[in-house]
Structure 1
Amino acid sequence: MAQRPVMELAGTIRHDGDGGVLDDLDTVRGVHRWLQQQPGLLAVAPGDLVVDEGLRDAVVGVRRAVRALFARVVSPAPPSPADAHRLLPLDEALRLLNAAAAREPVAPQLHWPAEGPPTSGLLSAEDDPGVRLVAALARDAVDFLSGPQRERLRACHAPRCVRYFIKSHGRQEWCKPSCGNRARVARHYERTREATGRD
């Protein structure tokens, strides 16, 4: 099941399995590869989108704002350790996110087929697919952060994990089962070490 775009974007910072952090958007090629893995993110053919350093900077800027705001949501619990030491200040994150969302002029449109209920969408007046992409990511973040799912956002605190996730049930503590297994193994190791008095 595909996650919403803001969660996919936040998830482009991840652990490498060895205690380090990987950034899927650290290069123009990485941004291009990530976009190809996001079907439906843009209502434009991937070939029409020019992925360059300017677009990479804009997408990474939205991600920095999102992760700073995610850290505020999960507070007083600790934020993801991947970027806890370099989070944007709140006012800067809000300014960046709102400016990115405002880059695309859109108008709501009502669609009502002869057979079926009405639906709504946005009609863009923007020609540049890169601007539409950045604005769409920012609007999804605004929608998420101002909506009810925000209350279920958590930072995964399994050893080495740096992801945020939306809690899907009451007892969920980790973003995925492998993180839960890693956390249980680490706790078992720590209890065994304490019981035997080893350092």
Structure 2
Amino acid sequence: MDVANLEGGGAPILGEPPPIELGNTAYAVRGRPQDGLETVEHLAAWLRDVRPRLAVALTDADLGGVTGDDLRAAREIREAVRALAAAAIAGRDADPGAVATLNRHARLTPRWRELRTAPEPHATVCAAGRPVSAVLAAMAEEAVDLFAGAARHELRACHGPGCVLYFRCETGRREWCSAGCGNRARAARHYAKARQDPAT
């Protein structure tokens, strides 16, 4: 796991789908659990980091208006995503409480697409209500699509020592969330082998 933004709470940004990135704001450093969403400021910083990949546009003013309710919602969605990812990876049935939480958040803010013509024709996502609430609802909806579709079979838990992150593996061969975790795992294996056989 590589930490992307220590000032913003330290949550890793791995390039995963936004719901998985949100789930990964609960991470570990040297095997010790960390919370990348401890404060409203951490949530605002994390949203700023993933802003280019969000379904609903956020301005700097929107990020300045993140509330305690937004933080509670983000944490609830995160815990639901982590529970559903763990169940999908283990081949277990989804926890009904996690499903209910995700569904509740997904339906909170209506969103729709509109055509814009300047500077070039493009679609933009509009939302009723507060933009940060709309982003979190859209992220919950993306998680619904992820766990309802075939992509849930591509989810993996990192095999790095002490790592608790999830990632999507389209090839079926990836074992680690990042090159850093892979390097730590290889170094740990080498160290363990050297301790067992000091003569080599």
TM range (shorter): 0.7 to 0.9
Task: Work out whether residues 37 and 71 of structure 2, in 8 Å CA contact, stay in contact via their aligned partners in 1.
Answer: yes
Aligned partner of 1:38: which letter?
V
Distance 1:139 1:22, change over 3 A: same
Task: Work out whether residues 43 and 71 of structure 2, in 8 Å CA contact, stay in contact via their aligned partners in 1.
Answer: yes
The 2-side partners of 1:194 and 1:120 are apart by 60
Find the counterpart in structure 2 of residue 104 from structure 1.
109
The 1-side partners of 2:15 and 2:197 are apart by 43
Aligned partner of 2:46: which letter?
W
Distance 1:30 1:112, change over 3 A: closer
Kindly report structure 1 stretches of 4+ aligned residues shifted beyond 6 Å. Answer: none
SS of the residue corresponding to residue 57 of structure 1 reads helix
SS of the residue corresponding to residue 73 of structure 2 reads helix
**1:74 matched to 2:86:** no
Superposition pairs of residues 19-168 of structure 1, within 5 angstroms: 19-40=31-52, 41=54, 42-49=56-63, 50-75=65-90, 90-107=95-112, 109=113, 123-124=126-127, 126-168=128-170
Q: Runs of 5+ in structure 2 lacking a partner? A: 1-13
The 2-side partners of 1:76 and 1:90 are apart by 12
* Deviations, residues 145-197 of structure 1 (Å, cap 9, x unaligned): 1222221110002112111011143421111122112112222222333345x
Instruction: Give, in angstroms, the shift of residue 66 of structure 1.
Output: 0.3
TM-score (norm 1): 0.77
Aligned partner of 1:95: which letter?
A
Aligned partner of 2:189: which letter?
R
Count of residues in correspondence between the two structures: 179
Find the counterpart in structure 2 of residue 13 from structure 1.
26
Aligned partner of 2:49: which letter?
Q
Aligned partner of 1:55: which letter?
D
SS of the residue corresponding to residue 39 of structure 1 reads helix
Instruction: Give, in angstroms, the shift of residue 111 of structure 1.
Output: 5.6
Aligned partner of 1:57: which letter?
R
Instruction: Give, in angstroms, the shift of residue 58 of structure 1.
Output: 0.5
Aligned partner of 2:76: which letter?
G
Superposition pairs of residues 177-188 of structure 1, within 5 angstroms: 177-188=179-190
SS of the residue corresponding to residue 151 of structure 1 reads helix
Aligned partner of 2:48: which letter?
Q
Instruction: Give, in angstroms, the shift of residue 123 of structure 1.
Output: 4.8
Report sequence identity in percent. 36
The 2-side partners of 1:22 and 1:105 are apart by 33
Task: Work out whether residues 107 and 137 of structure 2, in 8 Å CA contact, stay in contact via their aligned partners in 1.
Answer: yes
Distance 1:192 1:24, change over 3 A: same
- RMSD after superposition: 2.7
TM-score (norm 2): 0.77
Q: Runs of 5+ in structure 1 lacking a partner? A: 78-88, 114-118
